[in-house]
Amino acid sequence: MVDRPNKPQALATTPGLPPQAQVNITHDNSRVSAVLPSGECIEVLLHGATVTSWKDRAGNERLWLSEAAKLDGSKAVRGGIPLVFPVFGTAPDHEPTSKLPQHGFARNSRWDFLGKSTTESSGQTDASVKLDFGLSTATIDDEAKKLWPFSFSLIYSVTLTPDALRTGIVITNDGDQPFEFQTLLHTYFRIGDITKVKISGLEESAYIDKVDGAKEKQQTGDVTIAGEVDRVYHPASPETPVVVSESGEAKFSIVRDNLGDVVVWNPWVEKAQGMGDFEPKDGYRNMICVEAGAVKAWTKLEAGDAYEGGQIISV
Protein backbone atom coordinates (compact mmCIF):
# COMPACT_ATOMS: atom_id res chain seq x y z
CA MET A 1 0.00 0.00 0.00
CA VAL A 2 1.34 3.46 -0.93
CA ASP A 3 1.58 5.84 2.01
CA ARG A 4 0.20 9.08 0.61
CA PRO A 5 1.62 12.22 2.25
CA ASN A 6 -1.72 14.03 2.01
CA LYS A 7 -4.07 11.24 2.99
CA PRO A 8 -7.43 12.41 4.43
CA GLN A 9 -8.11 12.64 8.14
CA ALA A 10 -10.36 10.12 9.90
CA LEU A 11 -14.00 11.06 9.84
CA ALA A 12 -14.17 11.44 13.62
CA THR A 13 -11.75 14.36 13.45
CA THR A 14 -13.15 16.03 10.34
CA PRO A 15 -13.79 19.72 11.08
CA GLY A 16 -17.45 20.54 11.43
CA LEU A 17 -18.64 17.21 12.82
CA PRO A 18 -20.24 17.44 16.29
CA PRO A 19 -18.19 16.23 19.27
CA GLN A 20 -18.85 12.64 20.28
CA ALA A 21 -17.71 10.17 22.89
CA GLN A 22 -14.72 7.95 22.22
CA VAL A 23 -14.99 4.26 23.19
CA ASN A 24 -12.08 1.81 23.28
CA ILE A 25 -11.51 -1.81 24.28
CA THR A 26 -8.20 -2.07 26.11
CA HIS A 27 -5.95 -4.30 28.25
CA ASP A 28 -6.13 -7.34 25.94
CA ASN A 29 -9.88 -6.94 25.43
CA SER A 30 -10.58 -7.03 29.16
CA ARG A 31 -11.81 -3.46 29.68
CA VAL A 32 -14.02 -0.94 27.93
CA SER A 33 -13.32 2.76 28.39
CA ALA A 34 -15.29 5.79 27.27
CA VAL A 35 -14.43 9.49 27.25
CA LEU A 36 -16.87 12.34 26.62
CA PRO A 37 -15.88 15.42 24.61
CA SER A 38 -16.01 17.39 27.87
CA GLY A 39 -13.46 15.05 29.50
CA GLU A 40 -15.51 12.84 31.84
CA CYS A 41 -14.59 9.17 31.52
CA ILE A 42 -15.41 5.68 32.75
CA GLU A 43 -13.80 2.28 32.63
CA VAL A 44 -15.67 -1.04 32.82
CA LEU A 45 -13.97 -4.38 33.44
CA LEU A 46 -15.58 -7.19 31.45
CA HIS A 47 -15.01 -9.44 34.47
CA GLY A 48 -18.28 -8.80 36.30
CA ALA A 49 -19.14 -5.84 34.05
CA THR A 50 -17.66 -3.90 36.97
CA VAL A 51 -17.36 -0.13 36.65
CA THR A 52 -13.86 0.42 38.06
CA SER A 53 -13.43 4.14 37.36
CA TRP A 54 -15.59 7.24 36.91
CA LYS A 55 -13.69 10.51 36.61
CA ASP A 56 -14.81 14.09 36.20
CA ARG A 57 -13.39 16.33 33.47
CA ALA A 58 -10.50 17.38 35.75
CA GLY A 59 -9.49 13.75 36.27
CA ASN A 60 -10.81 13.45 39.83
CA GLU A 61 -11.94 9.91 40.66
CA ARG A 62 -15.49 9.52 41.99
CA LEU A 63 -15.38 5.81 42.83
CA TRP A 64 -13.20 4.08 45.43
CA LEU A 65 -11.12 1.14 44.22
CA SER A 66 -8.90 -0.87 46.52
CA GLU A 67 -5.21 -0.72 45.67
CA ALA A 68 -5.23 -4.53 46.06
CA ALA A 69 -8.29 -5.11 43.86
CA LYS A 70 -7.89 -8.02 41.47
CA LEU A 71 -8.43 -6.80 37.91
CA ASP A 72 -7.22 -9.97 36.20
CA GLY A 73 -10.50 -11.89 36.48
CA SER A 74 -9.29 -14.09 39.33
CA LYS A 75 -11.91 -12.83 41.80
CA ALA A 76 -14.57 -10.18 42.28
CA VAL A 77 -13.35 -6.58 42.29
CA ARG A 78 -13.05 -4.79 45.64
CA GLY A 79 -14.37 -1.35 44.76
CA GLY A 80 -16.04 0.43 41.86
CA ILE A 81 -19.55 -0.89 41.17
CA PRO A 82 -19.70 -4.70 41.38
CA LEU A 83 -23.01 -6.20 40.26
CA VAL A 84 -24.79 -8.59 42.63
CA PHE A 85 -27.02 -11.34 41.13
CA PRO A 86 -28.88 -13.64 41.80
CA VAL A 87 -28.32 -13.56 45.59
CA PHE A 88 -27.28 -10.88 48.07
CA GLY A 89 -24.74 -12.21 50.55
CA THR A 90 -25.46 -15.88 51.05
CA ALA A 91 -28.84 -17.54 51.51
CA PRO A 92 -28.45 -21.01 53.07
CA ASP A 93 -32.20 -21.14 53.83
CA HIS A 94 -33.24 -20.35 50.24
CA GLU A 95 -32.80 -23.64 48.43
CA PRO A 96 -32.45 -22.37 44.83
CA THR A 97 -29.53 -20.10 45.74
CA SER A 98 -28.22 -21.87 48.85
CA LYS A 99 -25.10 -23.20 47.13
CA LEU A 100 -24.08 -19.99 45.39
CA PRO A 101 -21.01 -18.03 46.49
CA GLN A 102 -21.20 -14.68 48.29
CA HIS A 103 -23.21 -12.19 46.16
CA GLY A 104 -23.81 -14.71 43.37
CA PHE A 105 -21.95 -15.30 40.12
CA ALA A 106 -22.56 -12.17 38.02
CA ARG A 107 -19.65 -10.24 39.54
CA ASN A 108 -17.33 -13.20 38.90
CA SER A 109 -18.39 -13.93 35.31
CA ARG A 110 -16.97 -12.69 32.04
CA TRP A 111 -19.55 -10.46 30.34
CA ASP A 112 -19.89 -9.73 26.63
CA PHE A 113 -19.60 -6.15 25.42
CA LEU A 114 -22.73 -5.71 23.29
CA GLY A 115 -21.90 -2.28 21.92
CA LYS A 116 -22.23 1.44 22.42
CA SER A 117 -24.64 4.20 21.57
CA THR A 118 -23.71 7.86 21.70
CA THR A 119 -25.51 11.16 21.72
CA GLU A 120 -23.69 13.74 19.65
CA SER A 121 -23.98 17.42 20.45
CA SER A 122 -23.23 20.85 19.12
CA GLY A 123 -21.22 21.52 22.26
CA GLN A 124 -19.40 19.50 24.91
CA THR A 125 -21.93 19.59 27.74
CA ASP A 126 -24.78 17.44 26.43
CA ALA A 127 -23.01 14.52 24.81
CA SER A 128 -23.47 11.07 26.38
CA VAL A 129 -22.45 7.47 25.84
CA LYS A 130 -24.20 4.22 26.75
CA LEU A 131 -22.32 0.94 27.02
CA ASP A 132 -24.26 -2.34 27.01
CA PHE A 133 -23.04 -5.64 28.47
CA GLY A 134 -24.62 -9.10 28.38
CA LEU A 135 -24.56 -12.29 30.43
CA SER A 136 -26.70 -15.39 29.97
CA THR A 137 -27.03 -19.07 30.69
CA ALA A 138 -25.05 -19.74 27.54
CA THR A 139 -22.06 -17.67 28.67
CA ILE A 140 -21.65 -18.45 32.39
CA ASP A 141 -19.31 -21.26 33.36
CA ASP A 142 -20.42 -24.83 33.98
CA GLU A 143 -20.04 -24.53 37.75
CA ALA A 144 -22.46 -21.58 37.91
CA LYS A 145 -24.96 -23.47 35.72
CA LYS A 146 -24.76 -26.40 38.08
CA LEU A 147 -25.34 -24.25 41.17
CA TRP A 148 -28.16 -22.20 39.64
CA PRO A 149 -29.82 -24.20 36.82
CA PHE A 150 -32.19 -21.57 35.45
CA SER A 151 -32.35 -20.11 31.97
CA PHE A 152 -31.82 -16.35 32.03
CA SER A 153 -30.27 -13.37 30.28
CA LEU A 154 -28.99 -10.08 31.69
CA ILE A 155 -28.39 -6.80 29.92
CA TYR A 156 -26.48 -4.24 31.95
CA SER A 157 -26.28 -0.65 30.68
CA VAL A 158 -23.83 1.99 31.86
CA THR A 159 -24.56 5.52 30.66
CA LEU A 160 -22.15 8.42 31.16
CA THR A 161 -23.18 12.07 30.92
CA PRO A 162 -21.18 15.12 32.00
CA ASP A 163 -22.91 15.27 35.39
CA ALA A 164 -24.28 11.77 36.04
CA LEU A 165 -23.74 8.05 35.77
CA ARG A 166 -26.68 5.74 35.09
CA THR A 167 -26.52 2.00 35.63
CA GLY A 168 -29.45 -0.25 34.84
CA ILE A 169 -30.12 -3.95 34.53
CA VAL A 170 -32.73 -5.96 32.61
CA ILE A 171 -33.22 -9.53 33.86
CA THR A 172 -35.17 -11.91 31.62
CA ASN A 173 -36.43 -15.38 32.48
CA ASP A 174 -35.74 -17.32 29.28
CA GLY A 175 -36.88 -20.65 30.69
CA ASP A 176 -40.22 -22.35 31.28
CA GLN A 177 -40.01 -22.25 35.11
CA PRO A 178 -40.23 -19.22 37.42
CA PHE A 179 -37.20 -18.24 39.49
CA GLU A 180 -36.49 -15.91 42.41
CA PHE A 181 -33.55 -13.54 42.61
CA GLN A 182 -31.99 -10.60 44.39
CA THR A 183 -29.89 -7.90 42.74
CA LEU A 184 -27.78 -4.97 43.90
CA LEU A 185 -25.51 -2.24 42.51
CA HIS A 186 -22.68 -2.35 45.06
CA THR A 187 -21.41 1.24 44.59
CA TYR A 188 -18.22 2.33 46.39
CA PHE A 189 -18.09 6.14 46.53
CA ARG A 190 -14.78 7.93 47.05
CA ILE A 191 -14.91 10.59 49.77
CA GLY A 192 -12.34 12.64 51.65
CA ASP A 193 -13.12 11.91 55.29
CA ILE A 194 -15.71 9.38 56.45
CA THR A 195 -16.18 11.19 59.77
CA LYS A 196 -17.50 14.22 57.91
CA VAL A 197 -20.03 12.28 55.82
CA LYS A 198 -23.80 12.36 56.25
CA ILE A 199 -26.36 10.43 54.24
CA SER A 200 -29.84 11.93 53.92
CA GLY A 201 -33.01 10.57 52.36
CA LEU A 202 -33.29 7.58 54.69
CA GLU A 203 -34.97 9.39 57.58
CA GLU A 204 -37.71 7.41 59.34
CA SER A 205 -36.79 4.33 57.31
CA ALA A 206 -36.77 0.82 58.73
CA TYR A 207 -33.50 -1.05 58.41
CA ILE A 208 -31.81 -4.32 59.33
CA ASP A 209 -28.63 -3.79 61.32
CA LYS A 210 -26.31 -6.64 60.28
CA VAL A 211 -23.63 -5.48 62.71
CA ASP A 212 -26.07 -5.87 65.61
CA GLY A 213 -27.46 -9.36 65.08
CA ALA A 214 -29.73 -8.41 62.15
CA LYS A 215 -32.02 -6.48 64.48
CA GLU A 216 -34.75 -4.38 62.87
CA LYS A 217 -34.40 -0.71 63.70
CA GLN A 218 -35.67 2.72 62.66
CA GLN A 219 -33.48 5.51 61.32
CA THR A 220 -33.80 8.92 62.96
CA GLY A 221 -32.18 11.84 61.17
CA ASP A 222 -29.21 11.56 58.83
CA VAL A 223 -26.97 8.50 58.72
CA THR A 224 -23.48 9.18 60.09
CA ILE A 225 -20.52 6.81 60.27
CA ALA A 226 -18.52 6.35 63.49
CA GLY A 227 -17.78 2.61 63.34
CA GLU A 228 -18.53 -0.46 61.24
CA VAL A 229 -21.84 -0.05 59.39
CA ASP A 230 -23.71 -2.75 57.47
CA ARG A 231 -27.39 -1.90 57.11
CA VAL A 232 -30.19 -2.81 54.71
CA TYR A 233 -32.66 0.07 54.49
CA HIS A 234 -36.15 -0.08 53.06
CA PRO A 235 -36.75 3.65 52.55
CA ALA A 236 -39.98 5.10 53.86
CA SER A 237 -40.02 7.48 50.86
CA PRO A 238 -38.68 5.44 47.96
CA GLU A 239 -38.92 8.36 45.53
CA THR A 240 -36.70 10.60 47.69
CA PRO A 241 -33.09 10.83 46.48
CA VAL A 242 -30.43 9.46 48.81
CA VAL A 243 -27.77 12.15 49.15
CA VAL A 244 -24.18 11.68 50.32
CA SER A 245 -22.79 14.92 51.77
CA GLU A 246 -19.35 15.71 53.13
CA SER A 247 -18.65 18.70 55.38
CA GLY A 248 -22.14 19.96 54.56
CA GLU A 249 -21.66 19.82 50.79
CA ALA A 250 -23.71 17.41 48.67
CA LYS A 251 -21.38 15.08 46.75
CA PHE A 252 -23.64 12.41 45.26
CA SER A 253 -27.38 12.07 44.77
CA ILE A 254 -28.79 8.61 44.06
CA VAL A 255 -32.21 8.18 42.48
CA ARG A 256 -33.45 4.59 42.24
CA ASP A 257 -35.78 3.00 39.71
CA ASN A 258 -37.55 -0.20 40.83
CA LEU A 259 -34.81 -0.91 43.37
CA GLY A 260 -36.60 -0.66 46.70
CA ASP A 261 -33.70 -1.13 49.11
CA VAL A 262 -30.53 0.75 50.01
CA VAL A 263 -27.51 -0.89 51.65
CA VAL A 264 -25.07 1.34 53.55
CA TRP A 265 -21.68 -0.24 54.28
CA ASN A 266 -18.31 0.75 55.69
CA PRO A 267 -16.00 -1.90 57.17
CA TRP A 268 -14.19 0.44 59.59
CA VAL A 269 -10.93 -0.59 61.26
CA GLU A 270 -11.11 -4.27 62.22
CA LYS A 271 -12.98 -5.60 59.21
CA ALA A 272 -10.73 -3.67 56.81
CA GLN A 273 -7.72 -5.23 58.49
CA GLY A 274 -9.15 -8.70 57.91
CA MET A 275 -9.79 -8.32 54.16
CA GLY A 276 -6.78 -9.30 52.07
CA ASP A 277 -7.91 -7.28 49.04
CA PHE A 278 -8.69 -4.10 50.99
CA GLU A 279 -5.80 -1.64 50.64
CA PRO A 280 -4.73 0.65 52.08
CA LYS A 281 -6.01 -0.65 55.41
CA ASP A 282 -7.12 2.84 56.39
CA GLY A 283 -8.95 3.17 53.07
CA TYR A 284 -12.24 2.91 54.97
CA ARG A 285 -11.70 6.61 55.75
CA ASN A 286 -12.07 7.45 52.07
CA MET A 287 -15.02 5.32 50.99
CA ILE A 288 -18.69 4.74 51.67
CA CYS A 289 -20.91 2.19 49.97
CA VAL A 290 -24.45 3.30 49.22
CA GLU A 291 -25.98 0.46 47.24
CA ALA A 292 -29.30 0.47 45.39
CA GLY A 293 -30.89 -2.96 45.20
CA ALA A 294 -33.77 -5.35 45.64
CA VAL A 295 -32.43 -7.56 48.44
CA LYS A 296 -34.68 -7.50 51.49
CA ALA A 297 -37.04 -10.00 49.87
CA TRP A 298 -37.00 -12.22 46.78
CA THR A 299 -38.26 -11.02 43.42
CA LYS A 300 -40.12 -13.73 41.52
CA LEU A 301 -39.84 -13.73 37.76
CA GLU A 302 -42.28 -15.87 35.81
CA ALA A 303 -41.29 -17.73 32.65
CA GLY A 304 -40.83 -15.28 29.79
CA ASP A 305 -41.06 -12.20 31.98
CA ALA A 306 -38.47 -9.47 32.46
CA TYR A 307 -37.47 -7.22 35.35
CA GLU A 308 -35.82 -3.84 35.01
CA GLY A 309 -34.16 -1.69 37.68
CA GLY A 310 -31.48 0.95 37.89
CA GLN A 311 -30.03 4.05 39.46
CA ILE A 312 -28.96 7.54 38.45
CA ILE A 313 -26.02 8.99 40.37
CA SER A 314 -25.77 12.76 39.97
CA VAL A 315 -22.92 14.96 41.12
Query: How high is the mean pLDDT of the chain?
Result: 93
Measured distance CA(287)–CA(78) in Å, rounded: 12
The conformation of residue 124, written as its DSSP 8-state character, comes to S
Produce one character per residue of 190-201: b if its CB has 16 or more CB atoms within 10 Å, e if not: bbeebeebbbbb
Task: Please check whether residue 28 is in contact with residue 42, taking contact to mean a CB–CB distance below 8 angstroms.
Answer: no
122 pLDDT more than 80 = no
Q: Find residue 156's DSSP bridge partners.
A: 133, 169
Residues carrying an active site annotation: 186, 291
Average pLDDT over residues 265-278: 97
Helix (H) or strand (E) holding 273: helix 268-274
175 pLDDT more than 80 = yes
Q: Which fold has domain 20-314?
A: Beta-galactosidase; Chain A, domain 5 (2.70.98)
Measured distance CA(241)–CA(92) in Å, rounded: 33
Quick: pLDDT tens for 17-70: 667 899 999 999 999 999 999 999 999 999 999 999 999 999 999 999 999 999
Q: Residue 282: which residues within 8 A CB-CB, separation 6 or more?
A: 272
Q: Where are the domains of the chain?
A: 20-314
Q: What is the pTM of this model?
A: 0.92
Average pLDDT over residues 128-148: 97
Average pLDDT over residues 224-240: 96
